[in-house]
Structure 1
Amino acid sequence: MKKLRYFCETVLVSSAAWLLPKLPRSVILGLARGLGSLAYFLDARGRSTALDNLNAAFPGTYTLAQRKRIARQSYQNFARTFLDLFWSASLTKETWQQHISLRMDDSEAEARARETGAIWVTPHFGNFEFVSLVWGFRGIHFTVVAQDFANPALTTIFRRLREHSGHTVIPQENAIIKLVKALKKKGHAGLLTDLNIAPGKSATVIRCFGLMTCVPTLHVELALRLGLSLITGVCRPLPDGRSEITIFEALLPQPGDDVTALTQRVWDHFEKAIREHPECWLWMYKHWRYLPTRDIYPEYPTYAKPSRKFTALIESMKAGGSRHRAG
């Protein structure tokens, strides 16, 4: 049964990889709107999570009808990101600028990164697949960590799509060792940093829309350890089918800098972008899984649960003044 399912999955995804790059942008955009709307209506659990998240992040700001609209658009944006990953196989170094514009708030960020290497970070906002591919077309090749599929054939297809502009995709197993090796050779890493993870050594607690959440610190730890810049940016899909990449800041951490403060600073750039364009973020994801204590917190989403490890991490940060400092 599993072999049959894998076969069907492979045929479907292979067909999409062959067909989608041949379609005009207008068709891709129409498919994204239709598939995103369909997913919104069919995915009752994800839809409920999205509405719950929006209510927690913007208390009293949006009506239920407005939250439903934003949640539906979030599904449509995610569908567009997924379809664009396939469609982008038609792009080249000569043609990508027809579809993507680039704005650098820090005009020297790219030049410094080319000399030393850098860690490029973005959230699950807008077209986060495009933002990676563009730098490959510009001659900056990332080492990207991606989770393997249970179906090995799908892993191969998606790796080929993500490596289209010159990147190297590596599995999660021994990923940190491989990232460090690449970065020491003046390489570049591309990381998504808005995941909610279990409390532990590689996590810290930050304020996300005023609520406490547990996030990874890998990007900050690597920058501190190797003396590299952290470059923050997002890729916003535009209504006309194009996308706009904005690079906010090239942050160069210094020895002794506070890890939590740096993680918060990176996030604050992303939160500002999300507040301006809430439909671009992945609201159906559980961003606030843990409550600070066993008390009642009506401002948190209903799925958030108490966690002794999360509470202990918060208490240790209060006692020590922060998550920790780099030596």
Structure 2
Amino acid sequence: MRHRNAIFPNTKRLVKKLRYLFETALVESAAWLLPRLPRGIIMGLSRIIGTLAYWGDARGRRTALENLRCAFGDQYSLKERRRIACGSYQVFARTFLDLFWSARLTKDTWQDFFTIHLPKPEDEDQARQTGAVWVTPHFGNFELVSMVWGFRDFLFTIVAQDFKNESITRVFKRLRQHSGHTVISQENAMLKLMKALKRQGHAGLLTDLNIAPGKAATTIQCFGLWTCVPTLHVELAKRLGLSIMTGVCRPTPDGRYEVNIFEAIQPKPDEDTRELTQRVWDHFEKAIRAHPECWLWMYKHWRFRPKNLTPAEDAAYPSYSHASGRFTAIMPVKESAT
């Protein structure tokens, strides 16, 4: 028995090593091949891979359809929700294929693929002088929207989750740093971001993650339902006196992207963190309502819900959500008494 136990760990390590080698070879091959393909092929692959993922990912598909029902109610029929959910998979596929393809972009060529709408250029001028916190949700191409600003000499510090396979982490880090950004891990991220921002740097953050209730989180209204999101972007801006630059990057059918900057929010140190977080989200929700296929609907955006809801209120949340006392405790007082 001891002999068998000694063999199994070695076998598992070997299988894991071989799997990592295969994954790394696959990702490196994609990083070499995709920038060499015509734009039309990238677009076609995105649609094919996204559609296959939609039908192959039963759990994610159910989550997406349920999220759409909870967010929009009867606004869309089941057929329309399926179309939007499939479109979300296709946009997500295009996002990551384009991250690999983006190796062909340069300071001289990026404008062939992007149009930027900046209502108040003076907001960008101030950000260039002082630094800023740039935020976007998992909408459209959240990967390339930061890369564009790197080509425009706004160099971001970006927090990214590491893969279990360190070799894949290195590949994605290389791709994300293509325009001059610095990618850091989640460990001690706030301290690293503060150091960068104090040097008149820039931080790029995704703000629609659904996280457990705690000191680094707050509750906001998202499509009429309460959800728990990080407040890092707001706290950094408040502590350092910086602007929060809000915007999204929407894919267009012709293979290009349309970047919209909504507002440069300049929080005061004594402003309410939850209200500021809600203000940021409201811009994003408006964009999602206009182009729902661009958001990541297969993600569990409402994992937590308040306690002591009525049966009708409880039914408005997805089935995967669960009532949380800690969630209820950090809600606004007048709402937590519901």
- Give the TM bin, normalised by the shorter chain: over 0.9
1:255: how far off?
Answer: 2.1
- For structure 1, the 5+ residue unaligned runs are 322-327
1:307: how far off?
Answer: 1.2
What's 1:87 paired with?
101
Q: Deviations over 1:200-248 (max 9, x none)?
A: 0010000000100000000000000000000000000000000000000
1:106: how far off?
Answer: 2.5
Please, what TM-score do these two structures have when normalized by structure 1? Answer: 0.96
> 2:324 matched to 1:311?
no
User: Counterpart of 2:248 in 1: which secondary structure?
Assistant: strand
CA RMSD of aligned residues (A): 1.2
Runs of 4+ deviating beyond 4 Å: none
What's 1:325 paired with?
none
**Superposition pairs of residues 1-327 of structure 1, within 5 angstroms:** 1-295=15-309, 296=311, 297-314=314-331, 317-318=332-333
Structure 1: how far apart are the matches of 2:261 and 2:172?
Answer: 26
Q: Is the 8 A contact 1:106 1:248 kept in 2?
A: no
Structure 2: how far apart are the matches of 1:292 and 1:78?
Answer: 30
1:110: how far off?
Answer: 1.1
Structure 1: how far apart are the matches of 2:199 and 2:170?
Answer: 26
1:105: how far off?
Answer: 2.2
Change (3 A) 1:320 1:223: farther
1:319: how far off?
Answer: 6.9
Task: Output the amino acid matched with 1:265.
Answer: R
1:320: how far off?
Answer: 11
Q: Deviations over 1:66-116 (max 9, x none)?
A: 000000000000000000000000000000000011001232121000100
User: Counterpart of 1:127 in 2: which secondary structure?
Assistant: coil
User: Counterpart of 2:143 in 1: which secondary structure?
Assistant: helix
Q: Deviations over 1:157-204 (max 9, x none)?
A: 000000000000001111111100000000000000000000000100
Structure 1: how far apart are the matches of 2:201 and 2:59?
Answer: 40
User: Counterpart of 1:154 in 2: which secondary structure?
Assistant: helix
User: Counterpart of 2:134 in 1: which secondary structure?
Assistant: strand
1:294: how far off?
Answer: 4.6
Task: Output the amino acid matched with 1:230.
Answer: I
Aligned residue pairs, count: 319
- For structure 2, the 5+ residue unaligned runs are 1-14
Q: Which is greater in Rg?
A: 2
Change (3 A) 1:320 1:279: closer
Structure 2: how far apart are the matches of 1:32 and 1:19?
Answer: 15
